[in-house]
Amino acid sequence: MNYLSINDIDVLSNWVKEAISLKKQPKKFKELGKDKTIGLLFFNNSLRTRLSTQKAAMNLGMEVIVMNFGSEGWALEYADGTVMDQGTSEHIKEAAHVISQYCDIIAIRAFAGLVDKELDEAEQVLSGFKEYASVPIVNMESSVGHPLQALTDAITLEEHNFKNNPKVVLSWAPHPKALPHAVANSFVQMMQKQNAEFVITHPKGYELDPSITKDCTIEHDQEKALENADFVYVKNWSSYTNYGQIKSQDTNWQMTLKKLGKAKFMHCLPVRRNVVVADEVLDSDQSLVIEQANNRTYAAQLVLKKILESNE
């Protein structure tokens, strides 16, 4: 079993229930991972993913190896038949085989480069490890998805009485840097598995990949979208159509308490205060961001538990 995208979840409500029960007794399965090792490979920075996945593995009794591959590893070649006389030093074929000898599970973070859409959508790092590793692979945020974050968000929603067809709004927010679409994509895919009124709001030109948003409601008027919202998930992403470009830095899209109304505020973190969201929101009781970060451990722990059980 791999955990590469939200599509690897069979029944989301069952996964959420099981994660919440793990949270109550995090050490209950501490024998399950005994004598097993997970390798966490980071091609990009992280705080939450690195520490929560490590904690999740430790709760299951696993040993953990962490490598900042982007800065410490050999530059990897992914294409077949390349004459490797340029910048790459090692082929994914050898690297994935070698790491599989050291680890029982390999977890990978490799963001989109946001330059070449086709290359990003091919998910060459994740796909390369999937093809050549002989152990299960976990996606710790790839070019197009962040399924551990989306599972976390489903857990957090459930813990806040996510019942009776609530209204959930995914709102774009400004950011000085061009950011990937992964978090927004996986949140959309997760919401498509929920019984909720779901609305996406963003300025024109920020449409996400239509093969992901499918028939989701898209409202370009943020104020209208936020009317009677129960949960507001805020995230920046760069343009998908004009791939990787910043088309707007309109500060009017920043989330404020006035706009939030009575809704709960969600964000995956890290977040830029007073750019994406005002201090008054993050410092209010309506913010769920710290709870979301805590739930990263139990989302990861559930995924690792299922993988360990499937390989018993």
Q: Does 290 bind ligand CP (CB under 6 A)?
A: no
Number of amino acids touching ligand CP (CB under 6 A): 9
Q: Give me the least distance between CB of 285 and ligand CP, in Å please.
A: 21
| DSSP strand pairing (217-218 vs 197-201) | parallel
Q: Which residues, including other chains, have CB under 8 Å from residue 153's CB and lie 6 or more apart? A: 187, 190, 233, 266, 268, 292
Residue matched to tokens 């760069």: 238
* Residue window 104-143: x/- pattern of binding to ligand CP, with contact defined by CB under 6 A: -------------------------------------x--
Q: Compare residues 2 and 49 and give the one whose CB is closer to ligand CP.
A: 49
Site for ligand CP in 245-284 (CB under 6 A): 268-270
- The answer to whether the beta carbons of residues 1 and 136 sit under 8 Å apart is yes
> Per the annotation, does 117 bind a ligand?
no
Q: Compare residues 139 and 149 and give the one whose CB is closer to ligand CP.
A: 149
- Give the CB-nearest residue to ligand CP: 49
Distance CA 66, CA 53 (A): 10
Q: Compare residues 47 and 115 and give the one whose CB is closer to ligand CP.
A: 47
88-117 in b/e burial notation, b at 16+ Cβ within 10 A? eeebbeebbeebbeebbbbbbbbbbebeeb
What is the number of residues in the chain? 312
Q: Give me the least distance between CB of 141 and ligand CP, in Å please.
A: 6
Site for ligand CP in 31-50 (CB under 6 A): 46-49
Q: What is the separation of C-alpha 28 from the centre of its chain, rounded to a whole number of angstroms?
A: 26
Cross-strand bridge partners of residue 105: 38
Q: Give me the least distance between CB of 219 and ligand CP, in Å please.
A: 25
Q: Compare residues 140 and 200 and give the one whose CB is closer to ligand CP.
A: 140
Q: Compare residues 107 and 133 and give the one whose CB is closer to ligand CP.
A: 107
> Per the annotation, does 147 bind a ligand?
yes
Distance CA 262, CA 70 (A): 42
> Per the annotation, does 305 bind a ligand?
no
- The answer to whether the beta carbons of residues 300 and 53 sit under 8 Å apart is yes
3-class SS of residue 42: strand
CA angle 152, 14, 23 (to 5 degrees): 50
Q: Give me the least distance between CB of 226 and ligand CP, in Å please.
A: 23
| DSSP strand pairing (137-139 vs 105-109) | parallel
* Residue window 140-159: x/- pattern of binding to ligand CP, with contact defined by CB under 6 A: -x-------x----------
Annotated binding site: 46-49, 74, 109, 141, 146-149, 175, 235, 268-269, 272, 296
Annotated binding site for N(2)-succinyl-L-ornithine: 141, 175, 235, 272
Binding site for ligand CP (CB under 6 A): 46-49, 141, 149, 268-270
